[in-house]
Amino acid sequence: MIKPEQFKFFSQLVKDSSGIALSTGKEYLLESRLNELCKVLGLKNIDSLYQQAKFKMTPKLKEQIIEAMTTNETYFFRDQHPFDTLKNHIIKELMEKNQSKKELRFWSAAASTGQEAYSIAMIIQEHFPQLANWKVEILGTDISRQAIEKAQAGRYTQVEVNRGLPVTMLIKYFKQQGAFWIAQDKLKKLVHFKTFNLLNPFIGLGQFDCIFCRYVLIYFDQETKKKITDKLVKVLRPGGYLFFGATETPVGLDPSMKRVTFGKTVCWKKAGG
């Protein structure tokens, strides 16, 4: 069992560096993830990891501890209906709004291994040929370097593509390479990925027409959620849309944001535009 001072040390480190809040009761989660990391690092146990982290911490070790604590669960077209809403309502509306500048920018703000960003890219390629001469960009960011490297490779196992991706789309937008499926260039040219920590200032990202920040706020405490949602609103263009995960209700969202529903989809629209 992880010792109380070790739990305190690691949970504080994880909270300060990523915002991920490990409250009392999450000892088991921390312990099992750190035990896995010990195996990777060839360390005997959490006591050794604690000694190293407390007295000989390196940026690399810190990153590995944060990586170990992220939950990268994702799949193609997760929840389906937000992507139907994009297809049936939002992209059309954004196209009307941006008709003169012919530009659309999406952000998958906790992109994990990229399935969310590639799902948006497939919606665009499949249903909006009119956008071929527009500047369309889907930025995918995540704190996890490993997740982002996988997203950049666009390389998925059979099990991963079986999760949410219809076979017709798989064949049309991915090519098989041995046991893997690789996103084709027609998707890759729309997406790009980089590591980014949502705790950092949102500088150099530009403005977006639509932001997906799904299934990440659940890991943060109220104060962190509020800080992040305030920053998200600032980089959203007037008339732009913000999506959270189905179980995530934003608290104290800026008054410029109006709750909008499309069937089962609940999202938030910024005033103006």
Ligand X SMILES: C[S@@+](CC[C@H](N)C(=O)[O-])C[C@H]1O[C@@H](n2cnc3c(N)ncnc32)[C@H](O)[C@@H]1O
Q: Where on the chain is the footprint of ligand X (CB under 6 A)?
A: 18-20, 70-74, 78, 110, 112, 116, 142-144, 147, 197-199, 214-216, 219, 245
Compare residues 239 and 245 and give the one whose CB is closer to ligand X: 245
Residue 221: CB minimum distance to ligand X, A: 12
Residue 53: CB minimum distance to ligand X, A: 19
Rounded distance, CA 264 to CA 220, Å?
Answer: 25
Question: Any idea which residue has 């040390």 for tokens?
Answer: 9
Residue 16: CB minimum distance to ligand X, A: 11
Compare residues 6 and 108 and give the one whose CB is closer to ligand X: 108
Compare residues 19 and 98 and give the one whose CB is closer to ligand X: 19
Compare residues 116 and 209 and give the one whose CB is closer to ligand X: 116
Residue 197: CB minimum distance to ligand X, A: 5
Rounded distance, CA 235 to CA 105, Å?
Answer: 11
Residue 220 CB partners (closer than 8 Å, separation 6+): 19, 20, 21, 228
DSSP 142: E
**Residue 111: HSE in the Cβ half-sphere, 13 Å Cα cutoff:** 33
Residue 77: CB minimum distance to ligand X, A: 10
CA distances from 158 to 31, 94, 100, 266 (A): 30, 34, 41, 31
Compare residues 71 and 184 and give the one whose CB is closer to ligand X: 71
